[in-house]
Chains A and B, each alone.
Chain A
Amino acid sequence: MRKSLAHAALFGYLAIVALIVILPLAYVLFGSIRPTPAVTGTLWDLVPTGFTWEHFASAFERAPLLRQMLNSALVVIAQTGLQVLTSVLAAYAIVFGGFRRPGLILGLYLVTMMIPNEATVVANYLTIRQLGLFDTLVAVFIPFAASAYSIFLLRQSFLSFPTEIKEAATVDGAGPMRFLFRFLLPLTKPTVMTVTLVSAIAAWNGYLWPLLVTESPAARTVQVGVKTLFDEADTDFGAGLAGLIVVSIPTIILVIVGQRFLARGLTEGAVK
């Protein structure tokens, strides 16, 4: 009896927390399919008053969202791929490279995190202009090809890599590349996946930089496209909310697919 009461209490608590977490998303979803006016700013907005695809239609009409989603996808693939590759190589070199002062090298990387974006954005913009990359997709992702944060995360993970495995691999004649790709990465997969996910989500959500270095709608990413659906003086958010639903779908899929990696232990099962 007591057990089932505790069970019910726990269930109730979790249900409330889940409701709170899902409320903003549900609000946006209902707002995007409600006939105009889409929202009134109260919880009554969650009560269905009808159904319409009109907001989605006007969202797609105002901005080439599908094309821009494709652009965003390309940016995510390129930016994440480059960032993970450079971070893995850098973290490997710091941990296993045999440097005399690896901490100093890491420190130099970390210093770049302490320079605010505002300070580097003009310089980056001018570099992109001079390279002739303005208004191209390459301009959107190239400044993020390396990330100190990802290097730091991977370095922490590599540090806790069991020395027994490293030694066993070396004894078996594995060179640095083989060790990296056949032993280290598979066994630190959860961290690598975390770095990949964090990088991918940041790439997908990028706004100010893509806005600065692109102009034509065809070269823009979807976050910039969604902004065109909103206006300061406008309180009818229908099209904007529809746009938000469209752009959040890939992020949600990414998290659902990737969450099992986020939950796993770092070197689970590596040592018997």
Chain B
Amino acid sequence: MTHSRRGVVAGVALAATASLIFAGCSAGPQSEATVDADGPVAIDFWYSVGGPAADALLKQVDAFNSSNDVDVTITPIFQGDYVETTAKLTNAVQSGDTPVLLQGGDTFSAYLHDSGLATAPEKIATFDGEPYHGDRVVDAAANYYTFDGELWAVPLMVSQPAVFFDAAKIEAAGLDGDNPPTSIDELFDWADEIFAATGTPGLVFHQNEWWNEQFAALDNVEYCTPDNGLGTEPATAFNFVNDDLVAVWTHFQKSLESGAIVNVGSDGVAAQNAFSVGQAAMLLASSASLGTTTAAADFDINAFALPVKTDGGGAVPGGSALWVLGEGHSDSEKAAAIEFAQFMGSSDVQQQIFEDTGYLPSNQDALDELLSSETDQPKLALLDQLTNTAKTPATGGCHSGAFGQARADVRSAIEAIAGGADVKAALETAQSKGTDQLVAYNERVDG
């Protein structure tokens, strides 16, 4: 049942990629002007998080609705996960009923940007005439949503992968969390050493394409070229296969086989659970999972940043962002959307979201304040990592509307590697299939 449902959703999303791009018209830049705030404005906001994350988000929506002085009311509407929301957006485009505000998942950024539905926040005329400025958005967080030097969405709930660990277990192997490894290869060495010294596997993470992207970014490699799709030209090819990455995955394969890395398959929750119950000393996971992992573990969780091997490299911050889909909406609706975006991106709100959920702050003032007030080791490590992440094309992550489809091939490659396949051949096959997807997508967009 789940599979068939996923199949339908994936199919709809696939159809979405094509039709949304054809249906969308280009959103022209607007002059910086004042929009009259003469009367109530009610706008829809499509969101895609559930559970406690939704509680935190809706709390802020309520706060905005009751506090804003321009009579704006935001109607939050849950539209399923990010894939389902995209599918629904496609339908809405056909009937001209798109929302003004949309919470977009990180990997959908290029797709939303290319659709022509979105308007860059800084180009939208506001109620008070003061245009939105993205200058207080944390550099590394803005990076993901900056196309050709322009910020296209306001980062809303930021997450970044990190290494979580049980200090007692790594100390038992004579290792010190205050002197973390300096490369992923060295991290895998740690896993081997912990396993050899204690008999407990050293590391666990799920087999997912996301890690391939992170490992490449840590080495300052642009995952797709040119410029990870963030420059003036769209990405035309994947370019992640190199000797270092092949060596990392070969090491992974060896450690997985020896038992130093726990094999949980492609299930991220299983990886977190394995760590929480003490089946592994270290966990590679998103910062967003810190809260629930901490609640589940009966030991103190510590964290260090993903090891950056090459200057300019770093973990890619992702999560979700607030997109203003200006196409087809009035100036006052767009101005109302910007009011909300400003509120959600503000220091207070971002700090509150961090406290409530563990999503990292996207506002620089919030980040600075939390860095000086936070005392919890893993939280501080995550905040430090975000602060130290360089704003380079590599840490911006690959951007292409075909990225979602291409990722599936990398996932298959990683699963094949875990099963003992030839590392270089598997990665090269995924890279070449992915490049074909990019080329086909670019041809469709050029029409």
Are these two chains actual partners, yes or no? yes
B8 in complex: contacting residue of A40, A62, A118, CB < 8 Å: A118
Instruction: List which B262-320 residues lie within 8 A (CB) of chain A.
Output: 269-270, 272-274, 276-277, 286, 288-289, 292-293, 295-296
Let me know if A195 is at the binding interface, CB within 8 A.
no
Q: Which residue in A42, A117, A126, A208 is a CB contact (below 8 Å) of B84?
A: A208
A233 to B270, Cβ gap below 8 A?
no
> Interface residues of B toward A: which range?
35 or more
Among A168-176, A178-186, A223-231, the stretch in contact with B: A223-231
In Å, the complex CA distance between A87 and B79 comes to 33
Chain B residues near A116: list those with CB within 8 A.
8, 11
Q: Does B440 contact A (CB under 8 A)?
A: no
One digit per residue, 1 when the CB lies within 8 angstroms of any chain A CB and 0 when it does not, for chain B 50-79 equals 111111000000000000000000000111
- Whether, in the assembled complex, A90 has its beta carbon less than 8 Å from a beta carbon of chain B, the answer is no
Task: Say yes or no: B8 contacts A208, CB within 8 Å.
Answer: yes
Enumerate chain B residues within 8 angstroms of A231, measured Cβ to Cβ.
49-54
| Contacts between chains A and B (CB distance < 8 A), count | 116
- Which of A130-150 touch B at CB < 8 Å? 130, 134
Q: Encode A205-228 as 1/0 by CB contact (under 8 A) with B.
A: 101100110011000000010011
Q: How far is the CB of A41 from chain B (nearest CB, A)?
A: 3
> Is B91 touching A121 in the complex (CB atoms < 8 A)?
yes
Instruction: Pick the residue among B55, B79, B91, B159 that contacts A122 (CB under 8 A).
Output: B91
Interchain CB contact under 8 A, A129 and B95: yes
A125 touching B79 by the CB < 8 A rule?
no
Contact residues in B for A117 (Cβ distance below 8 Å): 8, 11
Q: Does B259 contact A (CB under 8 A)?
A: no
Contacting residues, chain A, for B80 (C-beta < 8 A)? 211, 224, 227
Least CB distance from A198 to B in Å reads 13
Across the interface, which residues of A come within 8 angstroms of B12, CB to CB? 118, 121, 208
Find out whether the CB atom of A42 lies under 8 angstroms from the CB atom of B273: yes
Extra contacts besides A212-B87, A234-B53 (12): CB < 8 Å: A37-B292, A121-B12, A122-B19, A134-B97, A208-B8, A211-B80, A216-B77, A224-B80, A227-B50, A232-B49, A235-B272, A239-B51
Supply 23 A–B pairs (Cβ within 8 Å), ascending by A.
A37-B276, A37-B292, A40-B277, A41-B274, A42-B273, A42-B277, A117-B8, A122-B90, A122-B91, A125-B94, A125-B95, A208-B84, A215-B77, A216-B77, A224-B80, A228-B51, A229-B51, A230-B50, A231-B52, A231-B53, A233-B288, A234-B289, A235-B269
